[in-house]
Amino acid sequence: MTTRARQSLPDCGRAPLARALLVVLCLVAGFGCAAPPAHTSFAASPADPAIRRVVPEDAEAVRLSFAPLVRAAAPAVVSVTARRTAVQSEADTFYDDPIFRHFFGDLGRFGRGRPRQQREQASLGSGVIVRADGLIVTNRHVIEGADAITVVLGDRREFPAEVVLSDELSDLGFLRIEPGQDLPVLPLGDSDRIEVGDLVLAIGNPFGIGQTVTSGIVSAAARATPGGRSDVSFIQTDAAINPGNSGGALVSMDGELIGVNTAIFTRGGGGSIGIGFAIPANLVAARLAGIEQGTGTERPWLGAEYAPIDNSTADALGLARPQGVLIERVHPKAAGAAAGLRPGDVVTAVGGVEINDAPGLNFRLALEPLGQTVPLTVLRRGERLTLDLPLRPAPAEPPADRRTLDGNQPLSGTTVANLSPALSQGLGLDPFDSGVVVLGIERGSFATRLGLRPGDAIHAVNGEVVASTAELERMLDENARRWVVTVRRDGRLFDLTIS
């Protein structure tokens, strides 16, 4: 409040209410100032005790200025530059033309063009030092596909960085630099303790102009972004976040990292309109534990398909209000099945923490360590139950058995693998699917001209259902005058006929 008072001082002579408010604020802050006379205008002067900048000396005085927090936190926030080489082809040029794209849609995606030129692309972002030995957290989308990554510290030292962990589901990436000495560290806070209305600072490198600090409040907690990822409950803030802030720090008034700034909601211009999102620090801590324990990006897998609960669903289930998520299917090999979870159950809490949507459920599970159990609170036909959920990753059965098909057949040049819940999770596919999935297609192969894409599942060949890569290879070895390949894409089946 005192900060706002200092900003409004030049205008405080405009109305009696402003003068009265100034007196109250000054007395509370301990300035000992008096209100200006009603008949005079107030001129801002650096020598005036009412507006002289006070250097805070204790925790209470931090309310008067963010400077002590910034001095402590800013050195641990770094700039990250990721460079990658892109090869532009004739087909790429066709597809990227907005006029062709308007009339022809995705047709350009499957064209083949000769390599035309190479050009270097650079993405700018931010990062936070979380270990004194040089471990840095940032966003995965900042470093994705980079050939070289450079980290610039606040004191202008530059270091090459290597990727330690890249987690697509949480959009977190971890880098390591070798500084040769201990670095400033921003300690992780407990993001579960924040409340809506708490003051926060956002520190990063927006638009590459250099380290910038903005302030705001926590606007919402446990927020799912519109159309965003399904496994993170974000912290929403009105502190200004702009392109380049990605991977930067959201800092609490305790001087701790409570979030990694990740995304903004905007209309048209791409700049901040006061709706920004940060990945909670507790998820950063969980991924750090994965690095230290050697489990990487693995996380507990419930193995269930669930739906949100709205008012009509709550009425049908006899709930007093919409809460939790409704279980629709449970995978027979999943931890949920082992715990006794059933279709029709309503999951309302994980580890005693209430959840109200799918991102909240996934987020709570992602925070839990593998190899232990967590209590799952469930409503079943009006009865409240507690299930002990074993925390284990998605099973990698059957083995992938990755193969690249060849020979005189329509899928020659296609790399395929057996689907398992673990592989489906990694590819962003339905973990309930089984069979054979396309992992890649050689450039210029016949399969490219068929329009196959990575992620497509080969469901059947000439009417015979495909259960494994070995079966698929056997089917394609048979001579045939006409081929009908049934493909599953986004839950729908369609036939590709080759004669």
- Output the DSSP codes for 232-253: --EEEE-S---TT-TT-EEEET
Q: Is 246 a catalytic residue?
A: yes
Which among 337, 220, 197, 210 is positioned nearest to 277, based on CA atoms?
A: 220
**Of 126, 170, 219, 246, which residue is the catalytic one?**
246
Token pair belonging to 369: 């360590």
The residues near 139 (Cβ < 8 Å, ≥ 6 apart) are 125, 171, 172, 173, 246, 247, 260, 262, 279
> What Å distances lie between residue 480 and 67, 460, 483, CA to CA?
76, 15, 7
Of 167, 171, 238, 357, which one is the catalytic site residue? 171
Tens digit of each residue's pLDDT (9 = 90 or more) over 8-22: 333 333 343 334 333
CB 204 within 8 A of CB 212: yes
CA angle 455/138/301 to nearest 5° reads 45
Give the residue from 260, 296, 297, 82 showing the smallest Cα distance to 186: 260
d(CA 461, CA 497): 10
Question: Kind of pairing, strands 492-498 and 115-131?
Answer: unpaired
Position 180 scores a pLDDT of 82
Q: What is the pLDDT of residue 309?
A: 92
Query: Which tokens in the block code for residue 392?
Result: 């284990």
Fold classified for 304-390: Pdz3 Domain (2.30.42)
Residue-level pLDDT at 227: 53
Choose among 123, 159, 158: nearest CA to 141.
123
Angstrom distance (rounded) from CA 62 to CA 260: 23
Burial class from Cβ neighbours inside 10 Å (0-12, 13-18, 19+) for residue 160 reads exposed
State whether residue 163 is helix, strand or coil.
strand
Instruction: Name which of 205, 227, 112, 115 is nearest 152 in CA terms.
Output: 205
171 is known as an active-site residue: yes
Angle between helices 281-293 and 358-366 (to 10 degrees): 40
279-299 pLDDT tens trace: 999 999 999 999 998 888 889
Pairing of strands 276-280, 373-380: unpaired
Percent of the chain with pLDDT over 70: 78
| CA distance linking residue 94 with residue 75, whole number of Å | 45
Q: How far apart are CA 247 and CA 93, in angstroms?
A: 31
Give the model's pLDDT for residue 59: 66
Mean pLDDT by 10 residues, the chain (499 residues): 35 38 37 37 40 55 77 94 73 38 42 58 91 94 92 92 92 92 93 93 89 92 66 88 89 95 71 83 94 89 92 88 92 94 95 89 92 94 93 93 90 93 88 92 84 90 92 86 89 87
Which DSSP string corresponds to 463-478? TEEP-SHHHHHHHHHS
CATH class of the domain defined by 75-176: mainly beta
Does CATH number 2.40.10.10 belong to domain 191-293? yes
Burial of 482 from C-beta contacts in 10 A (0-12 / 13-18 / 19+): exposed
Structure tokens at 116: 């035309």
Q: Where are the domains of the chain?
A: 2-61, 75-176, 191-293, 304-390, 403-498
Domains 75-176 and 304-390 share a fold: no
Is 141 designated active site?
yes
Catalytic residue among 141, 272, 331, 345: 141
Give the DSSP per-residue string, 169-230: TTTEEEEE---SS------B--GGG--TT-EEEEEE-GGGS--EEEEEEEEEEEEPPTT--S
pLDDT given at position 47: 44
CATH 3.40.30.10 matches 403-498 = no
